[in-house]
Amino acid sequence: MIFLTIGSHEPFARLIKAVDEWSARNGATPEVFGQITDQGIADHPPQHFEAVGKMSPKEYDQKFSQADLIVSHAGMGSILTALSKGKPIVVMPRRGHLRETRNDHQYTTAKHLGDRPGVFVAEDETQLADVLDRTLATLEQCRNAPVSQVAQPQFTAALRSYLLTNTFARDGVSRGQNGEESFEV
Amino acid sequence: MSKMPHVLAISSAGGHWVQLMRLRPAWSGMRVTYVTTDPGSEEVLRQDAAEAGEAAPGFATVTEANRWQKLRLIRQLSQILFLLLRYRPDVVVSTGAAPGYFALRIGRLLGARTIWIDSMANAEELSLSGQKIGKHVDLWLTQWEHLARPEGPFYLGAVL
């Protein structure tokens, strides 16, 4: 099963249509299940796969875990969840100039994280079918060990130290509340 | 500091929340109150706490709002003010977006220490809220080293 998710905030017609066409071409095999926002359901109800507007965090987590492949907008939540579950993910970024987001942050996310193992980027709807076909053809090799469920240990340790001592260390220098420097003790 | 601080960790639902969850080891063992926009997250938090053999953390929700929904933003702002007055946390930490911005601005006025962790989704420039919040927080962070500046935002690591 392929889980298509486009985030909970805004519809993403380009991606929904591209997946619908791809699914039609394949006779709806493999099965696709989509979470495409209520507006997405109203505006462009997919003809060749089952979809819902929104899901509870628990349902979302279950669907994510059952999927063999994730197809998504290039949102951080989808990418982090896919990596932490070891699921291959195909992302297509929302674009600023098409008013799919405020700016091109998803495009830069795809650029900066697209080389991670298990992350595959379709720059736009014209590339999606190809990227999907290629990823599915090599799905066994695309599965990766899940990354850690939590942030980089040095990051949470630094935050923890700040929470407990009100200072944080950076480049061997610790800083007080207002950023004034003092030597590390 | 003699006692463990009470941490209020707040973000909107979705990617910001996923990032906040990945930071949980930073405040494990401390009293923590989570605030987000999706009531369904409470079930997951409770389940995680039960599996870890810990007490369920505090949880509250506020209205979801984007930058164009003025009335909803005002409602969200007043809910956050009410929550901060009720809980009086020692520290407010957020990964974004609007609810975090409001909570950090109000939290600081109420004397809490404040931490902004700009979303990892902003790899080439800080989010709008992230740019605006810089001078109002005690700890101002980006998750991309190349965006760090000597005067802030600082880089201490990333959620991935």
A49-93 confidence digits (pLDDT tens): 999 999 999 999 999 999 999 999 999 999 999 999 999 999 999
User: Has residue A34 been placed in a domain?
Assistant: yes
Chain A residues whose CB is inside 8 A of the B159 CB are: 80, 151-152, 155
CATH number of domain containing A19: 3.40.50.2000
User: Has residue A6 been placed in a domain?
Assistant: yes
The pLDDT of residue B20 is above 90:
yes
A18 half-sphere exposure, CB direction, 13 A CA radius: 24
Rounded distance between C-alpha atoms, residue A158 and residue A156, angstroms: 5
Examine the domain organization and report whether A105 and A166 are in the same domain.
Answer: no
Examine the domain organization and report whether A76 and A162 are in the same domain.
Answer: no
The whole-number pLDDT of residue A87 equals 96
Closest CA to A73 of B98, B100, B17, B14: B14
The Cα-based distances of A100 to A112, A142, B50, B101 in angstroms read 19, 29, 39, 23
The whole-number pLDDT of residue A120 equals 97
Examine the domain organization and report whether A157 and A96 are in the same domain.
Answer: no
Examine the domain organization and report whether A77 and A119 are in the same domain.
Answer: yes
pLDDT digits (tens, 9 = 90+) for A132-142: 999 999 988 87
The Cα-based distances of A125 to A69, A129, B19, B32, B148 in angstroms read 18, 8, 28, 43, 34
Examine the domain organization and report whether A103 and A175 are in the same domain.
Answer: no
How many domains does one find in chain A? 2
pLDDT digits (tens, 9 = 90+) for A88-118: 999 999 999 999 998 999 999 999 999 999 9
Testing the interface with B: which of A100, A155, A171, A180 to mutate, by most B Cβ within 10 A?
A: A155
Chain B residues whose CB is inside 8 A of the A64 CB are: none
A52 touches chain B (CB under 8 A): no
The whole-number pLDDT of residue A9 equals 85
Rounded distance between C-alpha atoms, residue B155 and residue B149, angstroms: 8
Examine the domain organization and report whether A51 and A99 are in the same domain.
Answer: yes
Distance from CA of A131 to the nearest CA of B (A): 22
The whole-number pLDDT of residue A17 equals 97
Q: What ipTM score was computed for the predicted complex, to two decimals?
A: 0.96
Q: Helix or strand or coil: residue B72?
A: helix
The Cα-based distances of B159 to A21, A47, A152, B6, B130 in angstroms read 35, 37, 6, 22, 17
A33 touches chain B (CB under 8 A): no
User: Has residue A170 been placed in a domain?
Assistant: yes
The structure's pTM equals 0.94
Label residue A174 by pLDDT band (50, 70, 90). Answer: low
Examine the domain organization and report whether A160 and A138 are in the same domain.
Answer: no
Considering only CB atoms, A76 lies closest to which of B18, B40, B44, namely B18
Residues of B numbered 120-159 whose beta carbons fall under 8 angstroms of chain A's beta carbons: which are they? 120-125, 127-128, 138-139, 144, 151-152, 154-159
The pLDDT of residue A175 is above 70:
no
User: Has residue A35 been placed in a domain?
Assistant: yes
Rounded distance between C-alpha atoms, residue A5 and residue A7, angstroms: 6
Counting residues of chain B whose pLDDT is more than 70, the rounded percentage is 99
* DSSP code for A20: H
Q: What is the dihedral of CA A92, B122, B44, B35, to 10 degrees?
A: -140
Instruction: For residue B103, give the amino acid letter.
Output: A
User: Has residue A118 been placed in a domain?
Assistant: yes
Label residue B3 by pLDDT band (50, 70, 90). Answer: confident
pLDDT digits (tens, 9 = 90+) for B63-86: 999 878 999 999 999 999 999 999
Q: Annotate B120-150 with three-state secondary structure.
A: CCCCCCCCHHHHHHHHHCCEEEECCHHHCCC
Examine the domain organization and report whether A45 and A122 are in the same domain.
Answer: yes
Examine the domain organization and report whether A89 and A160 are in the same domain.
Answer: no
Label residue A185 by pLDDT band (50, 70, 90). Answer: very low
Examine the domain organization and report whether A18 and A87 are in the same domain.
Answer: yes
Distance from CA of A36 to the nearest CA of B (A): 14
Considering only CB atoms, A80 lies closest to which of B44, B93, B160, namely B160
Examine the domain organization and report whether A112 and A73 are in the same domain.
Answer: yes
User: Has residue A147 been placed in a domain?
Assistant: no
Closest residue of chain A to B3, computed from CA coordinates: A164
Rounded distance between C-alpha atoms, residue B141 and residue B130, angstroms: 9
Answer for the pair B158, B143: CB distance below 8 angstroms, yes or no: yes
User: Has residue A101 been placed in a domain?
Assistant: yes
The Cα-based distances of B107 to A131, B14, B71 in angstroms read 46, 23, 21
Q: What is the mean pLDDT of residues B127-152?
A: 97
Identify the structural domains of chain B with CATH numbers, from first to last. 6-155 (3.40.50.2000)
Counting residues of chain A whose pLDDT is more than 70, the rounded percentage is 91
Distance from CA of A11 to the nearest CA of B (A): 14
How far is CA B82 from its chain centroid? 16
Q: What is the mean pLDDT of residues A154-161?
A: 96
What are the b/e assignments for B20-33, b being 16+ CB within 10 Å?
Answer: bbbbbbbbeebbbb
- Arithmetic mean of pLDDT over chain B: 96
pLDDT digits (tens, 9 = 90+) for A9-51: 899 999 999 999 999 999 988 999 999 999 999 998 999 999 9
The pLDDT of residue A182 is above 80:
no
Examine the domain organization and report whether A162 and A136 are in the same domain.
Answer: no
The pLDDT of residue A183 is above 70:
no
Task: Identify the domain containing residue A159 by its residue range.
Answer: 153-183
User: Has residue A148 been placed in a domain?
Assistant: no
